[in-house]
Amino acid sequence: MTSEEQQRIEACITEIAEILYNNTPPEKTTLVSSNRTEMYANAEMLILIRLYP
């Protein structure tokens, strides 16, 4: 996979994560992060796993 392809995949995954984050209703924040924040963090982690196996 080329560097350009990796950047395109990262941009797509980030865009999907942002759409999911924005379309998920906010929750009461607890000591543990909310599901919205966790979902966004998981998407970012997926990017790292895909780009740097």
7-52 pLDDT, tens digit each: 898 888 888 888 887 887 766 555 455 666 777 777 777 777 777 7
CA distances (Å), 24 to each of 3, 5, 19, 36, 47, in order?
A: 32, 29, 9, 7, 20
How many domains is the chain partitioned into structurally? 1
Provide the residue range defining the domain that includes 24: 3-51
pTM above 0.85, yes or no: no
